[in-house]
Each structure stands twice: as structure tokens, then as C-alpha cells.
């Protein structure tokens, strides 16, 4: 076993350990650093220790380290400046870059093997398979999956930051399916094509169709469904990277790709279950698309009751148990730290304070967990949806901070609702529900919420951070 193989083995182990540590907020930061250290070992080992069959080093160190320095600088500045509310779109963009890299590897390797085949065929009458089928399958998988991941992630990035709106048209699902079938048919034909010039044309046609499918796949998807799409695209990138590992017989690249692909796939399945959707709908591009916005007049919005800051402080201060439901409004206001301060003040008064976390709250899986971990909220206080739903009937006060669709009872009571069947936090079962929102505008799914006019519900309007600061002041002065 040579030193480079040991570097790859060490890196693979750190990837697995780092992924395990990411399962808990307390160890997630260290897990990220452990995996990053392993990747550094793998990259530097490849640069300085790799030898080809002729014993030659990589060379081109200026280009290699120039790219590393430029990319590292851009990544560092972007990560330091990004707001927590913009984290999902950054994740989507970075994920798309991974897919693009996998597609570029496929393009470079296909061109390399095609040129080699041309040289071999010149001056001979040989015929038959020009590129080994197994190798060509891996190249095509990397090209197709990486391209779909890249273009889809770019559309997801645009939708998350508001630059791209949901777009759908009649027959779009059929078009998506036809494009996908054309990609598969072209790939199968390419595997057994004996014409080098035709192979090149087919290859780049497949590339174009894969990029188009990525756009068509994500474009019609509703905003409330984006966490699942981001997770799915992440798994695509992992699989595409694993294909690159097969191409180069690179064990660490293969291990990293498999881990990302498997984790992304498992998370996608869990997200689909949480949204009560099928993975098949995601794959044909109909997930959450179409009729996600309720038409005006279809759902009557009853009278609402408002509550003041002082009354809210009294109700919460004399409660035995308070459950806080964080939503995107909390993230937008960057109110996680003052929310933790409110939690501490209530606990000093003998109030039990817990957090109810919906699996798809926010704009990406784990969004709320990351926000609250940033504010040093103990992980033990974060309840999963099933745990929280069991406690709501024994809860005195539920404070909903900017959440909407994940607490909408229409998911259980209205078969005509686009979110019908989606598991939600059953906050209406608590004795008192206080909902903080800026206005009565519908949530990300674009539908009204009957909870807001419920008999137990009171509305507390205003920016989440300002409202929580006022609550903290009121409790301190009382």
C-alpha cells in the first residue's frame, strides 16, 4: 500500500466520521472540520503523490493552485457574508457547482477516449466497439446526472432568491417525460454507435437535453416544496461525483460521492414522507407544481383577534408549558438570539419552554435547527413533529413565529387544499395559540390559513425580532 492510498483511506474515514458528527448540532461544527481536513489530505496527496502509468507527476501546479486560491477566496468570502435567510440558495448554488464539475469531467473524459479511438481507427479497417461499454455508461451517467443537478440547482437558486417565478404550462409533465425518454434513448443508442463523428453529436445533444430537463424539472415546482427538491438535487450531485470516482479509480472521490448520494436520497425520502408526497412525482417534475395557490373566494377567512404585547407577556409568564414554533419569519428577522433570551426569562419564572420543529420548516431541511443551534438553544429542547403533536393538548401556550403552511389545519380538514395530507404541527390543540406575523398574507404555499381565525388563536402582528424584544422587555419589567 503506497502513501497516496493511505491518504485516500484516511480521507474516506474522516468523511464517514464527519457525516456521523453532523447528525447532532453539538458536534456538527467539529464534524464539518474533520471532513474538511480529510478532503485537504486527499487533494494535497493527489497533487503531490499521484503518478500515472508512466510514473509522471501531475504538473501544471500554477494552474492547480491558482484555481484553488481563487475558488477558496470566493467560497470563503461568500460563506462569511451570507445571511442565514440566504443559506438555502447558497447551498443550492454550491450544489449546482458540484454537478457542473461532474459533467465537465464526463465531457473531458469522453473527448479523451474519442480522440484515442480516432487515432486507433486511422489507417485500419477495424470495426466494433470504439469505447468500452462499461466506461461509456459511467461517462454518460456522470454527464446526465451532473447536468440535471447543475441546471436544476441554478433554477432552484433563482426561485429561492426571488429572481425566478414558478412557471408551468399545459402539457409540461408530458414534455418532461418526453425529454427524459429522449435522453435515455440517446444514451442507449450511443452505447452501440460505431460512428465516431455521430457519437460526438449524440453526446452533446444528450448534454443539451439533460440541461433542459433540469430546468423543466425544477421550474414548475411550488415554493413550499423546495426543501425536498434541494435534497434530491444534492443526492444527484453525489451520484455524479461517484461516477467521477469510478472513471479515475479514485477511492476517496467514490466514497465521498456515495456518502453524499446516499444521505441526500435518504433525506429526500424522509422529506417526501413529511410532505405526504411520492418520490415518483418529484422525478417527473410535477412535485408541488400547478395548483398550489388557492383562488380568491375559495376559502373564507373568518374574523381574527389581536393581542397586545403586555397581554402576551402575561399569558406566557403564567403558563406551565410554552411551545415555540419557529418559521421562516424568525429566520428573516434574525430573531433566534432574542427568542433564546425569551426562553431563558420564561424558564426563570418556572415555565417549561420547548420548540416544535417541522421537518420542512424554512427553506431547506434542518433550517430551523441550524438557526436555533446558532443561538445556543439546547438540542434537547427541539422536538420533532411527532413529539410536539403529542404535547400540544397538554400545552398552555403555543407561540408561532412566522410559520404558516406547517401549522395549517387545512392539511387535515380540507380535501380541496393543495397541502391536504401533509403532516403538520397540530398547534390548534393547545389551550392558547399566539401567532406572530407581519401581515395576513398567505405563506410560501400561497394558501390561506384557517388557524388564524380559530377560537383559540390570537394574532400578534409585527417583525418577529421587534416583537420578541418587546416581550423580553415586558417580562423583565413585570
| Residues with active-site annotation | 405
Contact between residue 210 and residue 148 where contact means Cβ atoms under 8 Å apart: yes
Handedness of CA 267, 273, 274, 277 (dihedral sign): positive
How does 420-458 read in b/e, with b if 16+ C-beta sit within 10 Å?
eebbbbbbbbbbbbbbbbeeeebbbbbbbbbbbbbeebb
- 12 CB contacts (<8 Å, ≥6 apart)? 38, 251, 252, 255, 256
Cα distance between residue 410 and residue 450, in whole Å: 7
Q: How far apart are CA 447 and CA 420, in angstroms?
A: 11
Report the Cα 154 to chain-centroid distance in Å: 13
CA–CA separation, 193 and 195 (whole Å): 6
Residue written as grid cell 422536538: 383
Amino acid at each position: 500500500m503506497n502513501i497516496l492510498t493511505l491518504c485516500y483511506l484516511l480521507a474516506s474515514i474522516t468523511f464517514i466520521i464527519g457525516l456521523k458528527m453532523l447528525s447532532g448540532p453539538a458536534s456538527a461544527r467539529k464534524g464539518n472540520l474533520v471532513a474538511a481536513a480529510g478532503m485537504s489530505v486527499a487533494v494535497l496527496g493527489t497533487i503531490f503523490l499521484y503518478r500515472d502509468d508512466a510514473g509522471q507527476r501531475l504538473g501544471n501546479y500554477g494552474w492547480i493552485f491558482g484555481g484553488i486560491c481563487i475558488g477558496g477566496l470566493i467560497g470563503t468570502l461568500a460563506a462569511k457574508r451570507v445571511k442565514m435567510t440566504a443559506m438555502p440558495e447558497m447551498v443550492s448554488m454550491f450544489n449546482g457547482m458540484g454537478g457542473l464539475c461532474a459533467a465537465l469531467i464526463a465531457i473531458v473524459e469522453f473527448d479523451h477516449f474519442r480522440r484515442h479511438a480516432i487515432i486507433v481507427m486511422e489507417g485500419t479497417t477495424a470495426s466494433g466497439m470504439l469505447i468500452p461499454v462499461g466506461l461509456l455508461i459511467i461517462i454518460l451517467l456522470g454527464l446526465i446526472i451532473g447536468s440535471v443537478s447543475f441546471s436544476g440547482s441554478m433554477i432552484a437558486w433563482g426561485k429561492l432568491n426571488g429572481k425566478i417565478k414558478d412557471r408551468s404550462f399545459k402539457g409540461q409533465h408530458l414534455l418532461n417525460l418526453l425529454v427524459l425518454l429522449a435522453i435515455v434513448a440517446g444514451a442507449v443508442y450511443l452505447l452501440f454507435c460505431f460512428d465516431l463523428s455521430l457519437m460526438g453529436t449524440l453526446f452533446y445533444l444528450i448534454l443539451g437535453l439533460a440541461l433542459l430537463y433540469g430546468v423543466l424539472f425544477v421550474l414548475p415546482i411550488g415554493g413550499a416544496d423546495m426543501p425536498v427538491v434541494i435534497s434530491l438535487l444534492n443526492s444527484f450531485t453525489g451520484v455524479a461525483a461517484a461516477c467521477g470516482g469510478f472513471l479515475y479509480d479514485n477511492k476517496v472521490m467514490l466514497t465521498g460521492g456515495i456518502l453524499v448520494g446516499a444521505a441526500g436520497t435518504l433525506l429526500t425520502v424522509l422529506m417526501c414522507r413529511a410532505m405526504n408526497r411520492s418520490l415518483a412525482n418529484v422525478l417527473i417534475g410535477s412535485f408541488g407544481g400547478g395548483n398550489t395557490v388557492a383562488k380568491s373566494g375559495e376559502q373564507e377567512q373568518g374574523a381574527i383577534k389581536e393581542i397586545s404585547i403586555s397581554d402576551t407577556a402575561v399569558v406566557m409568564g403564567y403558563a406551565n408549558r410554552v411551545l415555540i414554533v419557529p418559521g421562516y419569519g424568525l429566520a428573516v428577522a434574525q430573531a433566534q438570539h432574542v427568542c433564546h433570551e425569551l426562553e431563558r426569562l420564561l424558564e426563570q419564572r418556572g415555565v417549561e419552554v420547548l420548540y416544535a420543529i417541522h421537518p420542512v420548516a424554512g427553506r431547506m431541511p434542518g433550517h430551523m435547527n441550524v438557526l436555533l443551534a446558532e443561538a445556543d438553544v439546547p438540542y434537547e429542547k427541539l422536538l420533532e413533529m411527532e413529539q410536539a403533536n403529542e404535547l400540544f393538548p397538554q400545552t398552555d401556550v403555543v407561540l408561532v413565529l412566522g410559520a404558516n403552511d406547517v401549522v395549517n389545519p387545512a392539511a387535515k380538514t380540507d380535501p380541496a387544499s393543495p397541502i391536504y395530507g401533509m403532516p403538520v404541527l397540530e398547534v390548534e390543540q393547545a389551550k392558547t395559540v399566539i401567532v406572530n406575523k407581519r401581515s395576513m398574507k398567505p405563506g410560501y404555499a400561497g394558501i390561506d390559513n384557517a388557524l388564524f381565525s380559530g377560537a383559540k388563536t390570537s394574532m400578534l402582528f409585527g417583525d418577529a425580532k421587534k416583537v420578541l424584544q418587546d416581550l423580553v422587555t415586558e417580562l423583565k419589567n413585570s
